[in-house]
Amino acid sequence: MAVTRFAPSPTGYLHIGGLRTALYSYLWARKTNGEFRLRIEDTDTQRNNDEAMKAILEAFNWVGLNYDGEVEYQSKRMEIYKKYIQQLLDEGKAYYCYMSKDELEALREEQMANKQTPRYDGRYRDFTGTPPSDIEPVVRIKAPLEGKITFVDGVKSIMNINCNEVDDFIIARSNGNPTYNFVVAIDDALMGITDVIRGDDHLTNTAKQIIIYEALGFDIPKFYHVPMINNPQGKKLSKRDGAMDVMEYKRQGYLPEALLNFLVRLGWSNKDQEIFSMEEMLELFDPSNINKSASSYNQEKLLWLNAHYIKNVSNDRLAKELEFFDCYLNGHDKKEMLLDLSKERAQTLVELKDAVNKIINRPTEYEVKGVKKFIKEDTPKFLDAYLKTLEEKKESLHLACDYEEITKPFIKEFELKFPQLFQPIRIALTGGTQAPSVYDIMAILGYNEVNLRVRTALDKNFNKEL
């Protein structure tokens, strides 16, 4: 039974790299009948953003990653951290360091001049003299001076860090506030986290956190460090490439299941399978099978997945989703026909909304290029005749096949080619030449609306401005 967590900082919005980490943590906890916890790391009061914090919770709600228990906020746990800092001081496992900023800078310059890695030299580790009166000390932990820190990473295998690479790092600043690595280790231990799944940019923090676990006698969790998501060129993902606020994906018309399906494949796979329901993810996912190398963001794959889910979710669900985009279809008598037709070519909900609106809203202008190409001198004559033919049979016009049954003989009688009739009608009904089957559009609109739109286009002579 795994207990996992996702612990974002509310200094910015939740991006897809973070959402992928959350998804992996969620899947592993749920698969093992464990717990998935959410913790907000908000100790950086100067950089915290209330709107970003709300957006993180909103994103979790949108994608349906439900967490166990209450959200933990580090800002409400300061007394807990101070208690453990004092414990380490009392046990001689941590100490006050009175090194001034000038001393630190001088040490850094000396080490760099000697081509050494800048690091604290431990000068106050065993200090027993009189503390300087003008220095507010920090608290440093006593890191091991020799040997190796070894742990097994579920993705990267055995990791060995020489102790001489880790100095006596700060666990509390001069104002008493604890540092990141300290609070993370304390929280993970007290929350009973058994498996830490996170980006491999945190790999360098792991040795420090293990030192804290061991100093306090806490159990060390299993670590899985997930490689980054790169852009198609193999570089760091930017906002232009897709590293944007998760809720922006909603605003751009993506379904949450498409985004989760896309993310689960960015770093993990099950042979050549591309489509994963949540049930399949829960059945098949294992963090031990996470790829060791970075993955590449692929916008075309995301669009392909989104189109798949748009085609396969229920029309009731689509109608509900479209309300977010101010497109309301509940109560429309041809809702099913309208959505069945429109979703076939839509890759996003925004495209679906546009396709729907193109049909249900009367055009306010006509495509100039289409008019020039398809509206000829004899077009009004045979359109008028076609409308009269429809009028004669209007009581029997309900489905697309009803319109087709009337139209084919009409085309043959007037010796027309299909585009000669259909493109002018398509322009009259939707304003443009790119639209689904004219038969389907007419069946959705009904005879009266078809007649009105075609007559209007003829009256205006298909001019752009109505």
SS3 for the chain is CCEEEECCCCCCCCCHHHHHHHHHHHHHHHHCCCEEEEEECCCCCCCCCHHHHHHHHHHHHHHCCCCCCCCEEHHHCHHHHHHHHHHHHHCCCEEEECCCHHHHHHHHHHHHHCCCCCCCCCCCCCCCCCCCCCCCCEEEECCCCCCEEEEEECCCEEEEEEHHHCCCCEEECCCCCECHHHHHHHHHHHCCCCEEEEEHHHHHHHHHHHHHHHHHCCCCCEEEEECCEECCCCCECCHHHCCCCHHHHHHCCCCHHHHHHHHHCCCCCCCCCCCCCHHHHHHHCCHHHCCCCCEECCHHHHHHHHHHHHHHCCHHHHHHHHHHHCCCCCCCCCHHHHHHHHHHHCCCHHHHHHHHHHHHCCCCCCCHHHHHHHCCCCHHHHHHHHHHHHHHCHHHCCCHHHHHHHHHHHHHHCCCCHHHHHHHHHHHHHCCCCCCCHHHHHHHHCHHHHHHHHHHHHHCCCCCCC
Domain spans in the chain, listed from the N-terminal domain onward: 78-172, 362-459
Q: What is the mean pLDDT of residues 20-28?
A: 97
The rounded percent of the chain whose pLDDT value lies above 70 is: 98
Total residues found in the chain within this entry: 466
pLDDT at 464: 52
Tens digit of each residue's pLDDT (9 = 90 or more) over 331-386 = 889 999 999 999 999 999 999 999 999 999 999 999 999 999 999 999 999 999 99
pLDDT at 232: 85
* Residue 133 pLDDT level (bands cut at 50, 70, 90): confident
pLDDT value at 465 more than 60: no
Give yes or no on whether 78-172 and 362-459 have one common fold: no
Q: What is the mean pLDDT of residues 159-180?
A: 94
* Residue 463 pLDDT level (bands cut at 50, 70, 90): confident
Tens digit of each residue's pLDDT (9 = 90 or more) over 393-419 = 999 999 999 999 999 999 999 999 999
Q: What is the mean pLDDT of residues 286-313?
A: 96
Which architecture characterizes domain 78-172 according to CATH? Answer: Alpha-Beta Complex (3.90)
Burial 179-211 (b: 16+ CB within 10 A, else e): bbbbbbbbbbbebebbbbbbebebbeebbbbbb
Q: How crowded is residue 226: how many other Cβ atoms within 10 Å of its Cβ?
A: 28
Q: What is the mean pLDDT of residues 446-456?
A: 96
Domain covering 362-459 assigned CATH 3.20.20.140 in the classification: no
Beta strands 229-230 and 170-172, pairing class = unpaired
Q: What is the mean pLDDT of residues 447-462?
A: 94
Q: What is the mean pLDDT of residues 250-274?
A: 96
pLDDT at 38: 96
pLDDT value at 240 more than 80: no
Sign of CA dihedral 314, 319, 323, 327: positive
Q: Which residues are annotated as a binding site?
A: 239
Q: Which residues are annotated as a binding site for ATP?
A: 239
**Could you tell me the maximum CA-CA distance found in the chain, to the nearest angstrom?**
110
Q: What is the mean pLDDT of residues 445-452?
A: 96
Among the ranges given (6-20, 230-244, 351-365), the one the predictor scored with the smallest mean pLDDT: 230-244
pLDDT value at 219 more than 60: yes
Q: What is the mean pLDDT of residues 255-279?
A: 96
Sign of CA dihedral 178, 182, 185, 186: negative
The rounded percent of the chain whose pLDDT value lies above 90 is: 82
